[in-house]
């Protein structure tokens, strides 16, 4: 049986005085635990080499991280806008477009959900506390601080096997205007979109929380997202 290869979009950071490119280890652990082989994709790659990164891969995870630059959805930067990474924005927009063209299964997490919404024509709240209302935030990575309501019959409900789920939360931005072609599949108690999928047959799921952080929690339904992504690889190959 062929082990699926799943690409995970990375970031660039300075650690101990040196440039490092990679991802949080939890993404690698979650993908590995799902029976797939993780491949870290660096935003240092540009141009036609971005498409080449997906050669031989079976799926893509768009990881969390910095704010998406508001210029991509025609907005003026808000005073509370966090760090933006223009190189990573360009890289992940290109990755997503190529994955879409190849119909590779995609799991978009936190920033990844927001970036996908922008890529498909939507907008974001740049800072929830000042533009809308404060949203619950986790202190520790595994702190589940609120529930999400999941639409019955959605792909997300089918994967998690439930219509309510407790999640962690590490975001001050969120979907404002949902992009055409996307449907909301989960909402928080304060009405924020916490899950999205496309309206066609492409296997695409986006979640606002960080399911990878629960890779070592026995019986955590969150890990089923990575299991389903790995399973979708076989369908896509067929």
Average the pLDDT over 227-232 and give the result: 98
Q: How many domains does the chain have?
A: 1
Question: What's the pLDDT tens digit per position in 126-136?
Answer: 999 999 999 99
Asked if residue 147 lies in contact with residue 164, where contact means CB atoms within 8 angstroms, the answer is: yes
With tokens 């080449």, the residue in question is 52
Question: What's the pLDDT tens digit per position in 22-52?
Answer: 999 999 999 999 999 999 999 999 999 999 9
DSSP secondary structure string for all residues of 53-113: HTTT--EEEE---SBPPGGGGT-PPPTT---B-HHHHHHHHHHHHHHHHHT--EEEETHHH
Enumerate the active-site residues. Answer: 110, 210, 212
pLDDT tier at 234, thresholds 50, 70, 90: confident
What share of the chain in percent tops pLDDT 70?
A: 98
Q: Terminal CA-to-CA distance of the chain, rounded, Å?
A: 13
**Residue 149: which of 157, 140, 141 has the closest Cα?**
157
Range of the domain at 53: 5-237
Q: Read off the CATH number of the domain in which 82 is found.
A: 3.40.50.880
Tokens of 80: 């509370």
What was the pLDDT predicted at 237?
A: 60
């Amino acid at each position: 049986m062929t082990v699926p290869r799943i690409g995970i979009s990375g970031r660039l950071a300075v650690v101990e005085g040196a440039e490092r490119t990679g991802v949080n280890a939890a993404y690698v652990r979650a993908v590995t635990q799902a029976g797939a082989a993780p491949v870290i994709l660096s935003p240092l790659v540009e141009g036609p080499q971005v498409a080449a990164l997906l050669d031989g891969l079976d799926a893509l995870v768009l990881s969390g991280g910095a704010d998406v630059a508001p210029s991509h959805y025609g907005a003026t930067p808000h005073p509370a806008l966090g760090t933006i990474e223009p190189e990573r924005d360009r890289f992940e927009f290109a990755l997503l477009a190529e994955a879409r063209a190849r119909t590779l299964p995609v799991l978009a997490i936190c920033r990844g959900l927001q970036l996908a919404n922008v890529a498909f024509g939507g907008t974001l709240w740049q800072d929830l506390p000042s533009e809308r209302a404060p949203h619950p935030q986790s202190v520790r990575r595994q702190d589940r601080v609120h529930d999400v309501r999941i639409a019955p019959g959605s792909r997300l409900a089918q994967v998690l096997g439930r219509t309510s789920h407790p999640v962690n939360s590490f975001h001050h931005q969120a979907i404002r205007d949902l992009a055409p072609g996307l449907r909301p599949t989960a909402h928080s108690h304060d009405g924020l979109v916490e899950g999205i999928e496309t309206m066609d047959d492409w296997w695409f799921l986006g979640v606002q929380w960080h399911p990878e952080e629960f890779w070592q929690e026995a019986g955590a339904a969150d890990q089923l997202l990575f299991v389903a992504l790995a399973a979708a690889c076989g369908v896509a190959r067929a």
